[in-house]
Structure 1
Amino acid sequence: QVGGPDGFLSPAPHGPQRAAELLLRTSAASLGVLLFAFTTPMSDLLPRLVRAGVPAPLVDVALVTYRMSFLLLNSVRRVRDAQAARLGHTTRAAAWRSLGGLGATAFVRSFDRAARLQAGLAGRGYDGTLRVLVPEARISVRFTAASLTLLAALAALTLVLERPLS
């Protein structure tokens, strides 16, 4: 028999509570990752990954991809603005034609930019690793103490809330 006693689809006894817990945990994890992503410059983070043991070629690919993605988005925005100025979006057919031209232009420009990047790196004596000057980060004792205090408070609150009420 498929399903439970209440039919094919029936609610679990603690289903809404578990769903709320899952939603809160995933939201907290996502917000933590977003906070890290929005407050940490990639130019600082990626070279530190090499010191942490991540292979240098992998970090180099990530660094170039990060840089090239913003250049590509800027190029696409400029082409789209130029198409709009030439009335490239007046009808549905013109919009589709403009979209095709936008994709083709972005593809060609990205390959051209990659070739120029390769030539520029070769001219600067690229030997397989991108060297980036990363300033030494000073450790703030006040910030570290406040962070550890907050972490301890959250851990204590979690232990108190996880304890059964009876």
Structure 2
Amino acid sequence: MLAIDAAAYTSPWRRVHPAAKGVFFGGLLVCALALPTWPAAPMVAVVALAAGFGPARVPPRAFARAAWVPLLFILTGSLALLVTVGGPQGAVALDPAGAARAAEVTGRAAAAVCCQLLFAFTTPLADLLPRLTRIGLPSALVEVIALIYRMLFVTLDSARRIQTAQAGRLGYAGRRAWIRSVGSLGAALFVRSFDRAQRMQRGLECRGYTGELTVLVEELPLRPSALAAAALPAVLVAAATASYFSLGAPL
């Protein structure tokens, strides 16, 4: 099981309705994207991390392992905003306004990533997917996502088994052996995944599949007061941002 899924299934917020968590983290995400970056993005990140590491008890080490790749991608991507290409000779030069734009993009994207990851760390996908059809998402799309999600763990387990067998035969002893083993691993995974998908399709057809997989969804209480409380942090962030600029801070 992936670290995110393990944390989501053991989270104290597992018993909280996904709609309430969606309003909480989704509202903060909207604030990070729609409001001025400063001071909205830092406030969104602080509120989301405080809730995640506090009441939700998200493991900081697991969160750091999951977040460093997208955050590094954001940082390296923002470096392109520091330069400009143009001029009479098409030269590359530093953009005077590039640092401000890079900081703005980095702040917004980092706050948004925190909100998305913390939602994933507190909400198992198995609890979320069956409820997506209730908000109008096509059931066929939801089922495809669910099948891919379930097949992912089987594929990862197959990859580990194949890699262990290759390593036991010195398949990664040298550079050429490593390249050959990785190629064989990819080919074997493709063949096994394709065969497994065909067998799954035949199994569904033999069981009278009619285009919809009916699953038992655990009912969780959802009160209007819980939705209002979940939306309160986003409202406070928006109000604090508005107050900041009403006091004369530049946009």
TM-score, scaled relative to structure 1: 0.82
Distance verdict in 2 for CA 1:20–1:93, change over 3 Å: closer
Matched, 1:35 2:112: no
Matched, 1:161 2:215: no
When residues 165 and 55 of structure 1 are mapped into structure 2, their CA distance, relative to the original with a 3 A threshold, is: closer
Partner of residue 109, structure 2: 26
Contact 1:3 1:10 in 2 (8 A): no
* In 2: Cα distance, 1:98 partner to 1:10 partner: 44
Task: Tell me if the contact between 1:47 and 1:59 (Cα under 8 Å) persists in the aligned partners.
Answer: yes
Would you say 1:103 and 2:186 are equivalent positions? Answer: yes
CA offset digits 1:104-128 (Å, max 9, x no partner): 2111211221122123222322111
Bigger shift: 114-123 or 101-110?
Answer: 114-123
From the superposition, tell whether residues 142 and 85 of structure 1 become closer, same or farther in structure 2 (CA, over 3 Å).
farther
Give the letter aligned to residue 93 of structure 2. L
Unaligned runs of 5+ in 2: 1-85
Q: Which residue of 1 aligns with 2:177?
A: 94
- The reply to whether residue 137 of structure 1 matches residue 207 of structure 2 is no
1:29-108 maps to which residues of 2 (within 5 A)?
29-108=112-191
Distance (Å, rounded) in 2 between the aligned partners of 1:165 and 1:97: 60
Are the aligned partners of 1:76 and 1:102 in contact in 2 as well (CA < 8 Å)? yes
Q: How does 1:102-121 map to 2 (within 5 A)?
A: 102-121=185-204
Preserved contact between residue 89 and residue 98 of structure 1 (Cα < 8 Å): yes
The change in CA–CA distance for 1:116 and 1:155 in structure 2 (over 3 A counts) is same
Task: Quickly say closer, same or farther: Cα 1:88–1:8, change in 2 above 3 A.
Answer: closer
Deviations 1:32-56 (A, max 9, x none): 1222223222222222111111111
Higher relative contact order (CA 8 A, sep 6+): 2
Letter in 2 for 1:82: A
What is the CA distance between 1:66 and its match in structure 2?
1.4
Q: Secondary structure at the residue paired with 1:64?
A: helix
Residues in 1 aligned to 2:178 and 2:104: alpha-carbon distance in whole angstroms: 45
Shift in CA distance, 147/51, structure 1 to aligned 2, threshold 3 Å: closer
Contact 1:72 1:110 in 2 (8 A): yes
Q: CA RMSD in A?
A: 2.5
- What's the offset of the Cα at 1:145? 4.9
Of 99, 102, 126, the match for 2:209: 126
State the alpha-carbon separation in 1 of the partners of residues 170 and 100 from structure 2: 54
Aligned partners of 1:22, 1:97: CA distance in 2, in Å?
Answer: 41
Shift of 1:129: 0.9
* Cα gap change, 1:128 to 1:87, in 2 (>3 Å): same
Structure 1 residue 141 displacement after superposition:
6.7
Deviations 1:57-104 (A, max 9, x none): 111111111111221121111100111011111122222221222122
